[in-house]
Amino acid sequence: MYPETTVNAAPATGQEATPLADAVVQAAIDNAIREARLNDASPTAVIGTTPPVAQPGRPPMSQGATDASVLMLAGGASASMVGLASAVVMYVSQYADPAVCAIVFGAPTALVLALARLAKRAKPAPTVHHHYEGPVHQDQRNVTTTTRGVWAKTTNQH
């Protein structure tokens, strides 16, 4: 952390070099380094099995939770921008119909939501490969489960 230093100061003009003065200067430097090490408040590197400490800011989350929270923050910001824009248009025009403004400013949002649902449904089905050795009996059944009522009754049909 702090390198060990040795002082070989050249004597000033008109002074003699004395080993005692060099030893006193060296002791003073060593003492200053030792005090700096004792009073050093900078964090040290963590080594070992100590668990991590939560830092200020967003709490620690999984990657999926982080992605979802960022998506919610972005959605909230965009919704507030659309609402603010429609309020400004209605205020500036002084005769804008709120229903027309709702249609005009809500249409892009509805379009984006519809495209997102379409994209979610357009995912291809996964390809399943089975590799067997020896005698194998494979039984694939589709089970339809229906749960209805306040007191749930589950019916499984093969």
Backbone angles phi, psi at 156, to 5 degrees: -105, 130
Highest mean pLDDT among 11-15, 25-29, 93-97: 25-29
Query: What is the per-residue pLDDT for 4?
Result: 54
Does 5 have pLDDT greater than 60? no
Query: What is the per-residue pLDDT for 111?
Result: 82
Query: What is the per-residue pLDDT for 126?
Result: 81
Does 1 have pLDDT greater than 60? no
Query: What is the per-residue pLDDT for 80?
Result: 85
Contact status, residue 155 vs residue 145, Cβ threshold 8 Å: yes
Residues 6+ apart with CB under 8 A from 145: 154, 155, 156
Identify the residue whose tokens are 């694939």.
140
Query: What is the per-residue pLDDT for 14?
Result: 60
Query: Residue type at 66?
Result: T
Residue 84's Cβ-side half-sphere holds a number of Cα atoms within 13 Å equal to 6
Query: Residue type at 22?
Result: D
For residue 50 the two structure tokens come to 């100590």
Residues 6+ apart with CB under 8 A from 54: 60
Query: What are 118-131's pLDDT values in tens digits?
Result: 877 777 778 888 88
Query: What is the per-residue pLDDT for 9?
Result: 54
Indicate the average pLDDT of the chain.
77
Is residue 105 packed enough to be buried (19+ CB in 10 Å), middle (13-18) or exposed (0-12)?
Answer: middle
